[in-house]
Amino acid sequence: MFLCIWVGLCNSLLFCFRCALDGEILRYVGEAYPKGVCSVYCGNGKDAEGPGSDFELVVVISVARHSPQNFWLWSIEFKDEVQMLELKGKLQVGAHYFEKGNVQLDAKHECKDSTIFQSSEDSAITIGNIIRQHEAEYLASLEDLRRKLPVTRTLFPWQNTLQFSLTRDITKELGIGK
């Protein structure tokens, strides 16, 4: 983003789009993942100078401090001839968690989307919104899978589950029966 401001004017179509997208992704990662890092690279079409050129930008977002295999990878193909942008997202997460047990999550997720080809700034905002939407939906689906702590905010005694009876506890709590 700093380089784009320093240069002032875009000297190529690819450079304009990369700079605009880099700024938008930096803003998104700063809001969504305060300790995350990101970068925007040119995948294909490094010689794209003007309209009529197809090129590809790759966005990498990593929010894992100690695990480099956790990342979002977005590939954005700019197809000038048909005036479309095709986005392909790929998530890879590997997490290991101990809570008097051994819980491991290995998740891989892929998604696709597309939008119309616009100016560099408008395309960057649209791409940023698409990425926000897909990541939020996927992370919400992972959140639904998590085991929540009970209302008591204490850990559940997994080693002694036979001592619990939902019916008995509800009956006792509501004062129904004896």
Write the pLDDT tens digit of every residue in 67-115.
556 788 999 999 888 889 999 999 887 776 655 556 677 788 899 999 9
Q: Which CATH superfamily hosts domain 2-174?
A: F-actin capping protein, beta subunit (3.90.1150.210)
**Domain boundary assignment for the chain:** 2-174
pLDDT at position 51 over 70: no
Residue 8's pLDDT is 41
pLDDT confidence of residue 75: 94
Reading phi first (left if > 0) and then psi (alpha if -120 to 50, else beta), residue 50 is in beta
Range in 2-6, 14-18, 75-79 the model is least confident about = 2-6
Q: What is the structure's pLDDT at 1?
A: 38
Question: Given this model, what pLDDT does residue 105 score?
Answer: 73
Which of 120, 123, 150 is closest to 15 using CA atoms?
120
User: Would you place residue 146 in the very low, low, confident or very high pLDDT band (cuts 50, 70, 90)?
Assistant: low
Q: What is the pLDDT of residue 4?
A: 46
Q: Which of 87, 98, 97, 90 is nearest to 69 (CA)?
A: 90
Write the pLDDT tens digit of every residue in 77-90: 998 888 899 999 99
Q: What pLDDT score was predicted for residue 108?
A: 86
Give how far Cα 118 sits from Cα of 36, 84, 126, Å: 28, 9, 9
Distance CA 130, CA 134 (A): 6
